[in-house]
Amino acid sequence: MEEKKYNREDMLYRLSNWRRVYGDRRRQGVSITEICCRYARANIKRRRETPEEREAREREELQYRDPVLPPPDFRDANVLQSVWMWLPEKINEVPVKSIVKLLAFGTWKEYRNHLRSLGAKRMDRFIDFSLRVFFERICRYEQKINSPVANDDSFKVE
């Protein structure tokens, strides 16, 4: 069977997808009155624009707009969630579960606190080890769920 290579960027992308699916929304609640006032202000401001000014404004808005994210992959997020739930707290005295949780759902402040308590070199080693272990378990889990069932018709001998 083909063995997948560990790719840190791919794993971090999958963790960000997991955060998009399972993470809390970080949007501040805004009242409907505030939304209506913003809309009215924008309409009043734009009503006085000439066509050239409007084109320039639209070009500038498009220039600073964030790129469109691909739709979240719910199946992959469910796989990561299942593997993380069965992950032990520590492996070889490395807090694997908490580091994976920190990378996926943590804030910058939580990351900085971990970095301060562990040190930069240890933190980098722990992150690499945790991602490697987590990725290996994900690969094993995906192989297990994709393997055919023993009672399947494909195993019949004729």
Per-residue pLDDT tens, the chain, 158 aa: give them: 445 666 778 888 899 899 989 887 666 777 889 889 999 998 888 888 888 988 998 888 888 887 887 888 999 999 999 999 998 889 888 889 999 999 888 888 998 998 898 888 888 899 999 999 999 999 999 888 887 665 555 544 55
Residue 93 and residue 15 share a domain: yes
Q: Is residue 84 in a domain?
A: yes
Q: Which tokens is 45 given?
A: 């401001």
Give me the residue label for tokens 């469109």: 68
- Give the chain's count of helices (H) and strands (E): 7, 0
Asked if residue 14 lies in contact with residue 81, where contact means CB atoms within 8 angstroms, the answer is no
Residue 95 and residue 49 share a domain: no
Q: Is residue 82 in a domain?
A: yes
With H, G, I as helix, E, B as strand and everything else as coil, classify residue 94: strand
Residue 82 and residue 41 share a domain: no
Residue 15 and residue 36 share a domain: no
Residue 89 and residue 57 share a domain: no
Residue 96 and residue 51 share a domain: no
Q: Is residue 1 in a domain?
A: no
Give me the residue label for tokens 């404004």: 57
Q: How many domains does the chain have?
A: 2
Domain span holding position 54: 32-64
In whole angstroms, give the CA distance from residue 4 to residue 140: 10
